A and B are shown apart, each in its own frame.
Chain A
């Protein structure tokens, strides 16, 4: 009896194990590591009547693309980026996650502004930090090859870098690693603000770059909303405290005024037409620049 059970159950177990581990019905290109597969059971549908709330944060790449679109004389100076040499300073989980985000933003910056050779250096660091914080499966050698092959093609490079950022984001999210994701996002957000304020360090009235920085009061709010879900984590809490200090400056900026309603003009839906834009003063901008620099300095240990 015992033998017959073994005869039946063991092969059956093997078949199930093989199917579970190796035959997920995933489309080409999607990560197929085991962690991603097992995460599926954690995602449970909520009951009717429950409302789940999420706060989303635009990627650093979207900020850099906007700056590039302005076509202004932005100084896309790579010396402002966090030096790849600093990698050796990051030895604990907190600094690794934060600087994973910072280096990811730097990679997006290099890709957007056509610094292909620099981009590869940042990719190497992202790979190393990714290995250390357990997201190596999201960053593969194939991506390195694609970057190498597209060093002089900024559009493709930007696409590859954005894909990498989104894959990492999805990977951390689907593997229930919200605390790590919170710090990666914080690092990326701070670096993008730092880089953009470095392009326009002194206040100029009506500068679209400065207006864009001021508008980040909304993205900072969303970032902090997201991070607060994980504030029991001491590392997340300490970063939140730093960002709260910066938020105090952003909160001084006057919001846009006027109705948000959609109107239709020449067949096109316009949201919020007729309202005044966000207004930032020279003093407010100066304070934001200084506090961003201070937080970035702590994060990068420079």
Chain B
């Protein structure tokens, strides 16, 4: 009887320790993605964070408005492995690919001016994995396979790590006199 109680208690403790190291990614982008606030950028509430596993993708549908400049910055926890995050932007209505960081030196930051209000889908893909790269835009040949090395903090979060997409905006400056 005492042994059973011991096993139950030990199991509860193990679960508690597991819970302890698991983390919520909510608001990760606010803490980890470097902000350009000093240059007049303002936080855009369509920013998002989530827990990713290597090779996993998320699609975030957002609305961008005419005459605004936008900055998108990606960041991730080291627990996710080596390699850069992939970012692509496509028109939500037509599916036309507008931007792919595979053709921009895998840049983790993009700034652009929006000339027409539209709905776009931002796809963020974690490095590594062997899954869905075929569904991503060309140019990313899996050379950035993530190692499974994880930090102590994330060791029990199913090899996942937080990924953040920080979106900032400011009114476009008018050019000329």
A contact residues vs B (CB 8 Å cutoff): 1-2, 5, 9, 12-13, 16-17, 19-20, 25, 27, 30, 36-41, 43-59, 61-62, 65-66, 69, 162, 165-166, 169-170, 173-174, 212, 215, 218-219, 221-222, 225, 255-256, 258-262, 266, 268-278
Contacts and interface: CB of A to CB of B under 8 A. Distances in A.
Interface of B: 2, 6, 9, 12-13, 16-20, 22-27, 31, 42-46, 48, 50-66, 91-94, 96, 98-99, 110-120, 123, 128-132, 135, 153, 157-161, 169, 171, 175
14 contacts: A9-B6, A9-B9, A16-B20, A17-B16, A27-B31, A40-B22, A48-B132, A51-B58, A52-B50, A166-B45, A218-B92, A262-B98, A270-B112, A272-B118
Contact of B60 (A9, A56, A270): A56
The DSSP consensus for interface residues of chain A is mixed
A272 B68 CA distance: 12
Contacts of B94: 260
Contact of B61 (A55, A61, A174): A55
Nearest to B175: A266
Q: List the 10 closest pairs (A to B, CB-CB), nearest first.
A: A45-B160, A48-B131, A49-B131, A48-B55, A48-B129, A56-B46, A45-B53, A269-B112, A174-B26, A272-B116
B81 to A, nearest CB: 12
Given A45-B159, A47-B131, A48-B130, A260 B20 contact: no
A87 B62 CA distance: 33
A177 to B, nearest CB: 12
Contacts of A219: 63
B56 A48 contact: yes
A269 B109 CA distance: 13
A25 B21 CA distance: 10
A49 B59 contact: no
A278 B24 contact: no
Nearest to A39: B24
B51 A45 contact: yes
A170 B26 contact: yes
A278 B98 CA distance: 19
A112 B166 CA distance: 23
A43 B20 contact: no
A292 to B, nearest CB: 18
Contact of A258 (B9, B98, B116): B116
B46 A57 contact: yes
